[in-house]
Amino acid sequence: MDDIKEVEDALKELENMGAGNASKVMSELINKEVKLVVPKIKIVDKSNIVSIVGGPESMVVCMYSSISGDLSGNVIIAFQKEEAFKLIDLLSDKDIGSTSILEDEGKKHLEEAGKILIKPYLDPLSEFLDINVHGGNVRVISTFGRSLSDFLLLNVNEENTLLITTNFSVPDANISGDFAFLLAFSSIQKLINAIKTKL
């Protein structure tokens, strides 16, 4: 879409602000520095959603929330399985390496973290574009990458979607993951129009 290219810089700036907000909150939760890299923006079809987490054979853990209001889609915080276990250890004040399977207690820690992180991630959309966007209940999913799209696209009934991702890392704990904003194709023009009114 040509319109995407026109507002790409603004989209990246919004993603930078959202991911920056979330990374600051995560840093406070785990008491460690969180680093970000430059966001990536692309339109993908359903089969390529697995690119968020490294491919179809990767075992992944995601904190995921649908978004509603003026836009529809999902927010995802995705990790390779071993990275998620390290995060659980940090969130529960355990030595890294203590968690080896995803149990209910670990899921609860991730769900609570997701609830805290997703609101500041979405805030720039409301603050700077004057659009109504809010997250829903946070779910924790553990699955192979190839099955990920089935979960993430439950409320996105189109073949194509806008995917904005920002990789982050916690160098002290050797953890990396991705913030991802997955927007339904039918909502893309609404987002573009909202940005253009502010340019």
CATH number at residue 41: 3.40.1550.10
Give the range of the structural domain holding residue 109, as residue numbers without chain letter.
2-196
Low-confidence ranges of the chain (pLDDT < 70): 1-2, 46-56, 146, 149-159
Residue 5 pLDDT: 84
Q: Rounded to whole angstroms, how far apart are CA atoms 148 and 159? A: 15
With beta carbons less than 8 A apart as the criterion, state whether 139 and 162 touch.
no
Give which of 35, 44, 49, 39 is closest to 14, Cα–Cα: 39
Closest by CA position to 43, among listed 3, 84, 16, 92: 3
**Number of compact structural domains in the chain:** 1
Question: What are 82-113's pLDDT values in tens digits?
Answer: 999 999 999 999 999 999 999 999 999 999 99
> In angstroms, rounded to a whole number, what is the distance separating the alpha carbons of residues 87 and 54?
18
Side-chain half-sphere exposure of 156, counting CA atoms within 13 A: 31
pTM: 0.88
